[in-house]
């Protein structure tokens, strides 16, 4: 039987990259309770058959040819990395982040080609401003283009409704908005909030925003506003935005996007009218957070930036609030839509993208199987989803 003379170093690298044990890999390729076989392959003592090597590539989520490389490939993210991370984590990213990013790019590429083929114009707001534009000007333009009220949470009753409203207005303007807490439809491949909160693809025809649905609703609201600023400045990139002060060490672009997000969600003029001479109490801050449908952290920063809070008051209250937020994110698991199939399907893929694909299928421009592949579902599942339209 012909053996595939793979590089054992590559095999070991691919397995460790996914944090899988020898036993887990052998079980996935049909060699349950035989981890010693994989160990012999990783040590170069034996080689798998070509069929087994193909199964290894599938399970380890790498191209088959990778197994024959002389050394592990240096994977580079196709867009800028704006994340603020500890030194040991900088420049690193998980296979999950890589896969959702590639999937999002595939969706954006498809929509760009379709819009260009059907004669649609580029979206004028993508890249309209530079990094030197003030946050006030950018946030006001976002508000006008998306037809958002002042403030954005006006007339909404919950934070969930606030998020849905922002997403709806972004999609009406032509922006794809995806929200998921895992890769495709694989619930065993969860995304990490510590690794990233979202990213933006600032394509002039098919701009896209991805929100990590493992984040809290408050977190996704702020990230969405932050990524809108990336679209308006024409800067694609991965972010892990937090409501922090401008002087926290972020690069200039991320500081600007945070300032745009804060001004969009909690406009200075409205905030000052509401805060007035209120004393700093937990009740006051929480009341304003509830009114603007944002986190307490955003309210505290707005209070400091507008001069309503002293530095001492702010730092004390912010540290306490940040501790509560991080504990809550670590203790809870978020995923929009719960167990509702239709709601989850549309949230993961974005109603805008789904409607564009459905229209293309109806016109015969896209095959049913291609449509299912774009939406990461089986044709049968797609049929079920479309029956609910």
Residues 145 and 20 in one domain: no
d(CA 275, CA 287): 10
CB 329 within 8 A of CB 216: yes
Q: Is the pLDDT of residue 347 over 50?
A: yes
Number of C-beta neighbours around residue 113 at 10 A = 12
Looking at per-residue confidence, does 326 or 312 come out higher? 312
Over residues 14-25, mean pLDDT = 84
Q: Is the pLDDT of residue 331 over 60?
A: no
Residues 99 and 185 in one domain: yes
Residue 123 tokens read as: 């979206």
Q: Could you give the 3-state DSSP secondary structure of residue 269?
A: helix
The gap from C-alpha 92 to its chain's centroid, in whole angstroms, comes to: 16
Looking at the 3D structure of the chain, how many domains does it have? 3
Q: Which pLDDT value is given to residue 340? A: 64
pTM, two decimal places: 0.84
Q: Which pLDDT value is given to residue 335? A: 53
Lowest-pLDDT range, 49-63, 294-308, 321-335? Answer: 321-335
High-pLDDT (> 90) share of the chain, %: 50
Residues 351 and 307 in one domain: no
Exposed, middle or buried by CB within 10 Å (0-12, 13-18, 19+), for 332? exposed
Residues 347 and 324 in one domain: no
What CATH number is given to the structural domain containing 40?
A: 1.10.260.40
Residue 78 lies in a domain: no
Residues 38 and 164 in one domain: no
Residue 76 lies in a domain: no
Residue 176 lies in a domain: yes
Q: Is the pLDDT of residue 337 over 80?
A: no
Residues 310 and 346 in one domain: no
d(CA 67, CA 333): 36
Residue 212 lies in a domain: yes
Sign of CA dihedral 318, 319, 325, 328: negative
Over residues 177-198, mean pLDDT = 89
Over residues 171-184, mean pLDDT = 94
The gap from C-alpha 175 to its chain's centroid, in whole angstroms, comes to: 14
Over residues 125-130, mean pLDDT = 97
Residue 149 lies in a domain: yes
Q: Which of 291, 307, 331 is the last residue of a domain?
A: 331
Q: Is the pLDDT of residue 258 over 80?
A: yes
Helical ranges in 43-158 per DSSP H: 50-59, 95-117, 135-145
Residues 274 and 383 in one domain: no
Which tens digit of pLDDT belongs to each residue from 361-386?
A: 989 999 888 999 899 888 888 887 77
Nearest to 220 by CA among 231, 210, 207: 210
Residues 131 and 279 in one domain: yes
CB 321 within 8 A of CB 329: no
Residues 6+ apart with CB under 8 A from 226: 198, 239, 241, 257, 258, 260, 261
Lowest-pLDDT range, 38-47, 142-151, 196-205? Answer: 38-47
Nearest to 360 by CA among 105, 111, 108, 106: 111
Looking at per-residue confidence, does 252 or 340 come out higher? 252
Residues 6+ apart with CB under 8 A from 261: 139, 222, 225, 226, 228, 229, 241
Residue 77 lies in a domain: no
Number of C-beta neighbours around residue 102 at 10 A = 11
Over residues 294-305, mean pLDDT = 90
Over residues 322-328, mean pLDDT = 70
Residues 203 and 145 in one domain: yes
Place of tokens 């990783």: 42
Q: In terms of residue numbers, what domain contains 351?
A: 341-387
Nearest to 318 by CA among 280, 272, 290, 287: 280
CB 175 within 8 A of CB 202: no
Residue 308 lies in a domain: yes
């Amino acid at each position: 039987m012909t053996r595939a003379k793979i590089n054992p170093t590559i095999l070991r690298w691919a397995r460790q990259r996914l944090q899988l044990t020898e036993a887990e890999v052998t079980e996935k390729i049909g060699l349950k309770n035989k981890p010693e076989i994989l160990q012999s392959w990783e040590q170069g003592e034996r080689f798998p058959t070509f069929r087994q090597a193909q199964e290894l590539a599938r399970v380890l989520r790498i191209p088959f040819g990778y197994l024959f490389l002389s050394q592990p490939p240096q994977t580079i993210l196709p867009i800028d990395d704006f994340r603020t991370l500890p030194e040991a984590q900088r420049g690193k990213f998980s296979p999950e982040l890589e896969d959702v990013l590639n999937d999002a790019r595939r969706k954006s590429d498809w929509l760009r080609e379709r819009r260009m083929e059907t004669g649609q114009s580029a979206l004028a707001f993508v890249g309209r401003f530079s990094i030197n534009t003030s946050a006030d000007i950018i946030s006001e333009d976002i508000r006008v283009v998306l037809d958002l009220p002042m403030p954005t949470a006006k007339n909404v009753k919950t934070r969930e409704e606030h998020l849905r409203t922002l997403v709806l207005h972004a999609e009406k303007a032509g922006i794809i908005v995806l929200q998921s807490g895992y890769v495709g439809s694989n619930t065993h491949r969860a995304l990490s909030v510590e690794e990233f909160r979202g990213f933006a693809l600032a394509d002039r025809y098919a701009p896209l925003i991805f929100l990590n649905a493992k984040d809290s609703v408050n977190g996704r609201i702020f990230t969405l506003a932050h990524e809108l600023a990336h679209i308006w400045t024409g800067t694609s990139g991965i972010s892990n935005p937090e409501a922090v002060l401008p002087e926290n060490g972020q690069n200039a672009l991320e500081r600007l996007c945070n300032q745009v997000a804060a001004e969009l969600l909690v406009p200075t003029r409205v905030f000052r009218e509401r805060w007035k001479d209120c004393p700093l109490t937990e009740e006051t801050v929480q009341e304003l957070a509830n009114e603007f449908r944002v986190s307490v952290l955003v309210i505290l920063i707005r209070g400091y930036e507008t001069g309503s809070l002293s530095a001492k008051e702010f730092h004390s209250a912010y540290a306490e609030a940040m501790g509560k937020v991080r504990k809550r994110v670590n203790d809870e698991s978020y995923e929009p839509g719960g167990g509702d199939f239709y709601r989850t399907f549309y949230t993961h893929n974005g109603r805008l993208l789904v409607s564009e694909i459905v229209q293309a299928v109806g016109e015969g421009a896209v095959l049913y199987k291609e449509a299912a592949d774009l939406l990461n579902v089986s044709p049968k599942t797609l049929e079920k989803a479309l029956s609910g339209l």
